[in-house]
Structure 1
Amino acid sequence: MSRSAKRPAKGSALLLTAGSGVLGLLVWTLLANSGIQGFPGPLSVVERFGTLVGDGTLPLDLLASLRRVLIGFVLGVVLAVPVGFLMGWYPAIRGLIEPWLQFFRMVPPLAIIPLAIVLLGIGETPKIFVIFLASFLSSVVSTFQGVVSVDNTLINAARVLGAKDRTVFTGVVIPASTPFILVGMRIGLGASWATVVAAELIAAQEGLGYRMQQAQLYYDLSTIFVQLIVIGLVGLLMDRALLLAERRLTGWQERR
C-alpha cells in the first residue's frame, strides 16, 4: 500500500482539524447553555482572556511558568543524556544505576512536591527540582534504550574497519540514539509542563497553576478555563517545536 493511501491528503487533514474545532466549540456552547451553574461559554472566556492579557496578569504568569519549565527541563536533559549513554555503554554502570532509576520512575514527580517543599522551602528551588526530576527520568530512559537498541552489526562493522571504541561511540552509537533522545525530550517536556502546573497549585505566588488555584477560591470558572486553554496550547506548541526539530535532525532516518 502506498504512503499516500495510508495517510489523508493535507487538505483533508486540515478540514478534519477545522471540523473537530467547530464541533468542540458547539459542544462547549451546548454545555454552557444547558443550565450548569457558572459554566462559562466561549464568549465569556474570550472576554476574560482579553482582560487578563490587558492587565498583564496572563503574560506574567505565563513567563513565570515557562521560566521554571525551561530551567528544570534543560537541567534534566543535560544530565540525563550522558547518564543514559553511560548506562547503555557500560554494563557495570547500568547495574549500579538502573535499580534506582526504575525505583524513582515508579514514584510520580508530583508525589515528591511535599517533600521538596519541606526540604527546600517554598521558593523556586522545589518547583525547579520536581520539573528537573520529571525531565531527567523521561530523557535518561529514552537515551539508555537508544544506546542498547543500536544494531550490533553496525558496531561490529565499524570495529572490523579498525574503529576504536571512541570512534564507534561518536560515529555510530550517538547518531543511532538521536531519535530516541529526541522522543525522550518530547515526553520529558510534556511531563515538565504538567509538573510545573501542579507545583504552582501548591506553593507559588505567580504562574498559570497559581492563578487557577486563586480562581478556584472565588469560583471564577472563566479564569480557570483561560488558564486551561493557555496551558494546553502552549504545551502543544512546545511539543510541535520539538517534533519539528526531531524531523530536521533525523531526516536521514527512514520513515514509514
Structure 2
Amino acid sequence: MNDAPKKAGPVQPVASAQSTGVDFFGLGLNLVGLVAGILIWWLLTASGAVGLPRPPEVVSKFIEVIANGQLATDLMSSLARVLTGFLIGVITAIPVGFAMGWYTVARSLIDPYLQFFRMIPPLAIIPLAIVTMGIDETPKIFVIFLASFLASVVATYQGVISVDKTMINAARVLGAKDLTIFLRVIIPASTPFILVGVRIGLGSAWATLVAAELIAAQTGLGFRMQQAQLYYDLPTIFVSLITIGILGLAMDRILLAIERLLTNWQERV
C-alpha cells in the first residue's frame, strides 16, 4: 500500500458575491428597507395619523405629470442648473484647494475668505445675487456653484495637508522635484479626500436647488414645489421631493463607483 501523501491540486476559487463585486445581501437589505418605509408611510396615512398624501395619490400624480410632460421639463431645468453649478464649483475648487494645501502664502490669503463664506448660508446670498446678477439663470447657477465650491475646496485642502510627510521626504531623498512629488505623491494620496468632497458638494448642490429656484424661475423641481405649496398640493410636492432624491442618489452612486475605481488601492471594510 502506498501511504505517500497525494499531491494537492490547485485550489479552485469559490465564486461569491464579494469576488464579483456585487453585494447581494446589501442590495436585499436596501430593498427590504425601501418596502418597509413605503408600508409605514401607507399605514400612517391610511390611519389618519399624519396629514400626508397616500402612496397611490403620489403615484397617480407621477403618472399625470409624466404624461403631460411637466416632470420632464422641470427635471431637465433643475438638472441643468445643478450640473452646471456643481461642475463649475468642483473644477474651480480642486486647484484652489491644492494651492492652499501646497503653498503657505496661498493658504494665508484665501483661508479667511473661505471660512467667512462657509459661515453664510447660500439662502442669504440670494438677495445679493439678484441685485448684482439679475433674475435670469446666472444667479441660480451661482448660488449652486458657491455651495459646491465651498464643500469641495475644504476637502481638497484637507487632503493635501493630510498627506504623510514621510512619503514627501522620501521622494525628495530619491531626487524627485516638486512637480514630480505633486503628481506622483500629493495627487494620489489626496484623491480619496477630494472625491469625498465632490460627493458632499453634489449633495450641497441639490440641497441648494430649491433656494436657487426662488429667483424668478418658471420651471424646475424646486419651482414646482413652491407653486404647489401655494395651493396645498401635497402630491406634487412629494413628486418633486422623490424626483430630487432619486436623481441625487443616482448621481451619488455614480460618484461612488468612480471613487472605488480611482482608489482601488485602498483597503476597505
Q: Could you tell me how far apart the structure 1 residues matched to 2:121 and 2:207 are?
A: 12
- TM norm structure 2: 0.88
2:35 pairs with one of 4, 17, 22: 22
Larger radius of gyration: 2
How big is the shift at 1:19? Answer: 2.1
Runs of 4 or more above 6 Å deviation: none
AA matched with 1:83:
V
Aligned positions of 1:128-147 closer than 5 A:
128-147=141-160
Q: Which residue of 2 aligns with 1:78?
A: 91
**SS at 2:232 equivalent:** coil
How big is the shift at 1:12? Answer: 3.5
Q: Could you tell me how far apart the structure 1 residues matched to 2:46 and 2:160 are?
A: 54
**SS at 2:131 equivalent:** helix
Structure 1 residue 192 corresponds to structure 2 residue 205: yes
How big is the shift at 1:197? Answer: 2.0
**SS at 2:213 equivalent:** helix
Structure 1 residue 87 corresponds to structure 2 residue 100: yes
Q: Could you tell me how far apart the structure 1 residues matched to 2:230 and 2:159 are?
A: 46
Contact 1:68 1:128 (8 Å CA) reproduced: yes
Q: Which residue of 2 aligns with 1:34?
A: 47
- TM norm structure 1: 0.92
Unaligned runs of 5+ in 1: none
Q: Which residue of 2 aligns with 1:98?
A: 111
How big is the shift at 1:23? Answer: 1.7
Once the two structures are superposed, residues 103-132 of structure 1 have per-residue CA deviations (whole angstroms, 9 ceiling, x without a partner) of 111111122112211221111011100111
Q: Which residue of 1 aligns with 2:14?
A: none
Structure 1 residue 241 corresponds to structure 2 residue 263: no
Q: Which residue of 1 aligns with 2:222?
A: 209
Q: Would you say how many aligned residue pairs link Structure 1 and Structure 2?
A: 249
Contact 1:38 1:221 (8 Å CA) reproduced: no
Flag the structure with higher helix content. Answer: 1
RMSD (Å), alpha carbons: 1.7
How big is the shift at 1:10? Answer: 3.6
Deviates more, 1:38-47 or 1:67-76: 38-47
Contact 1:140 1:184 (8 Å CA) reproduced: yes
Unaligned runs of 5+ in 2: 1-16
Q: Could you tell me how far apart the structure 2 residues matched to 1:226 and 1:201 are?
A: 18
Q: Could you tell me how far apart the structure 2 residues matched to 1:37 and 1:86 are?
A: 51
AA matched with 1:206:
T
**SS at 1:29 equivalent:** helix
